[in-house]
């Protein structure tokens, strides 16, 4: 088994919806040339981070992300929204706004981490909507 410091991680802040897990993981493994993708899942996380109405949930996401960054040296993060989301039923254009707002918020919290936004469409194809 490889030593922990030689393994490469990134982090996905993704919806809990099982349909989007594998497409996002596979995309991020290629995009960032990483072995592993830490997954932080909540229903509609881009909306949660964009609106920041639930302090406890926002803090839980931030705490998990901090752990991934500090313990797995995750240097890239993706915030994900997707088609047919039960928790964020907004149209794609509005969800992309939420994704961008969530990314902006995370950039303020974690300045030395690359943060991108992803949209998963009705065919479960992953599209980059923001690259910082």
pTM of the complete model = 0.92
Within 10 A of 132 (CB to CB), how many other CB atoms are there? 13
Section 49-59 average pLDDT: 96
What pLDDT is stored for residue 89 in this prediction? 94
Local structure of 32: helix, strand or coil: helix
Residue-range definition of the domain harbouring residue 60: 4-131
The number of folded domains in the chain is 1
* pLDDT mean across residues, the chain: 94
Say which CATH number the domain at 71 has.
3.40.1050.10
Q: What confidence tier does 4 reach under pLDDT thresholds 50, 70, 90? A: low
What pLDDT is stored for residue 7 in this prediction? 86
Answer for the pair 102, 88: CB distance below 8 angstroms, yes or no: no
**pLDDT (tens digit, 9 = 90+) per residue, 60-110?**
999 999 999 999 999 999 999 999 999 999 999 999 999 999 999 999 999
In this structure, what are the phi and psi dihedrals at residue 7, rounded to the nearest 5 degrees? -80, 145
């Amino acid at each position: 088994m490889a030593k922990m410091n030689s393994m490469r991680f990134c982090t996905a802040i993704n919806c809990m919806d099982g349909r989007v897990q594998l497409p996002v993981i596979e995309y991020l493994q290629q995009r960032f040339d990483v072995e592993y993708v830490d997954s932080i899942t909540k229903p509609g996380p881009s909306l949660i981070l964009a609106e920041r109405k639930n302090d406890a949930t926002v803090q839980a996401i931030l705490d998990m992300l901090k752990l991934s960054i500090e313990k797995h040296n995750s240097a890239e993060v993706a915030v994900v929204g997707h088609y047919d989301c039960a928790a964020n039923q907004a149209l794609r254009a509005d969800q992309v706004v939420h994704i961008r707002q969530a990314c902006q918020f995370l950039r303020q919290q974690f300045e030395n981490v690359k943060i991108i936004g992803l949209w998963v469409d009705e065919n479960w194809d992953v599209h980059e909507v923001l690259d910082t």
